[in-house]
Amino acid sequence: MALVQTLIDRDQIHLEPALPPRLRELYDGNLHYGSAPAERPFVLANFVSTLDGVVSFEVSGQAGGSTISGSDPADHFIMGLLRASADAIIVGARTVQAVTSESLWIPENIYPDAKDLYSDYRLNVLHKPEYPLLVVVTASGRLEMERAIFRTPSVPTVVVTTSAGMGVLANAGATQLPSVQIHMLDAKAGVISPSEILRLLQSRLGVRRLLHEGGPTLFGQFLAAEAVDELFLTLSPKIAGRSAEAFRPGLVQGVEFNPDATPRFQLLSVKQRAEYLYLRYQRM
Ligand SMILES: NC(=O)c1ccc[n+]([C@@H]2O[C@H](COP(=O)([O-])OP(=O)(O)OC[C@H]3O[C@@H](n4cnc5c(N)ncnc54)[C@H](OP(=O)(O)O)[C@@H]3O)[C@@H](O)[C@H]2O)c1
């Protein structure tokens, strides 16, 4: 039985291998991606937001996307499916801090019921390695090295950082960890440019399809750099509200666009389960 119902599907791309039948049934349709531009990987992003556009309650222990979605199973299934499709997943350091130390950015970690389906799709249809690479971006290098993402030999992690961050990470023992690679890039005022990160991922690590899992600060930079091709956005039927005292981020933070220069998106598909909507947009 399907986990979601497809209301609109304008996906006209038929170049990539299709989903195996059981995944197609659960997703109520197929999933194809466009090809990567020559100069960088294809970048798809995945977020869940409340009806009023909040992506984190910013409450200790409840700052993650699962609180926004109420651990909605279809949202988790789609997130797992996108992870299974990607060569690498990129996140900012604050998004790492918002989840438990056992969290891994692998398909079955978010939706265990489809573990075998994701694995079959990944290995036998897409011919990708067992797990996507996790890419963590940090200028400061202040990461908690006891986290599972740095201690699980089968799950490779790349840290992209500055020269100052490299020193901090080396002092914390990160350079000694077998499943962790650290790459140092130039930064302006502590910001490494998305195009430099994408160049590194494409040329040194062979990434052709990158899943951007936030947070809003890192995502805003990629949007501003015109380095987002698609957005998968789950709309959770909740309103979080905001106040001057309690900061609650929207989908994008730290970047603003002029009214006549906003990034525009074309609707590719709409899926629904109960009160939830699962939207897929393509950058115009
Ligand atoms: N609802 C959802 O779908 C969703 C998805 C993702 C995240 N979230 C939530 O969003 C919140 C985190 O988002 P956020 O915007 O505050 O943070 P973020 O984007 O996850 O991370 C920001 C941090 O990443 C590093 N960073 C980002 N861009 C960089 C660059 N260009 N160069 C060097 N370092 C860079 C810096 O780390 P250093 O400070 O270490 O230098 C920066 O402080 C969390 O509450 C998380 O749960 C929600």
Per-residue pLDDT of the chain in tens (284 residues, 90 and over written 9): 999 999 999 987 666 668 999 999 999 999 998 888 999 999 999 999 999 999 999 999 999 999 999 999 999 999 999 999 999 999 999 999 999 999 999 999 999 999 999 999 999 999 999 999 999 999 999 999 999 999 999 999 999 999 999 999 999 999 999 999 999 999 999 999 999 999 999 999 999 999 999 999 999 999 999 999 999 999 999 999 999 988 999 999 999 999 999 999 999 999 999 999 999 999 99
Q: For residue 108, give the nearest of 80, 136, 79 by alpha carbon.
A: 80
Let me know: does 240 contact 65? Beta carbons within 8 Å.
no
DSSP assignment, residue 194?
H
For a pocket test of ligand 1, which of 95, 134, 136, 276 has the largest count of ligand atoms closer than 8 A to its C-beta? 95
Find how far residue 41's CA is from the centre of its chain. 14
Looking at residue 35, its pLDDT comes to: 82
**Which atom of ligand 1 is the closest one to the Cα of 99?**
47
Looking at residue 15, its pLDDT comes to: 63
Enumerate the H helices of the chain as residue ranges.
Answer: 21-27, 65-69, 73-85, 93-97, 107-110, 115-120, 148-151, 163-171, 194-205, 216-224
Distance CA 141, CA 157 (A): 14
Residue 213 in contact with ligand 1 by CB distance below 6 A = yes
Looking at residue 21, its pLDDT comes to: 95
Looking at residue 16, its pLDDT comes to: 62
CA of 29 to the centre of ligand 1 (A): 32
Looking at residue 14, its pLDDT comes to: 64
What are the φ/ψ torsions at residue 25 (nearest 5 degrees)?
A: -65, -45
DSSP assignment, residue 124?
I
Among protein residues, the one with the nearest Cα to ligand 1's atom 3 is 47
Distance CA 50, CA 84 (A): 25
Looking at residue 165, its pLDDT comes to: 98
Let me know: does 135 contact 90? Beta carbons within 8 Å.
yes
What are the φ/ψ torsions at residue 207 (nearest 5 degrees)?
A: -80, 125
**Which atom of ligand 1 is the closest one to the Cα of 49?**
1
Looking at residue 131, its pLDDT comes to: 98
**Which atom of ligand 1 is the closest one to the Cα of 139?**
41
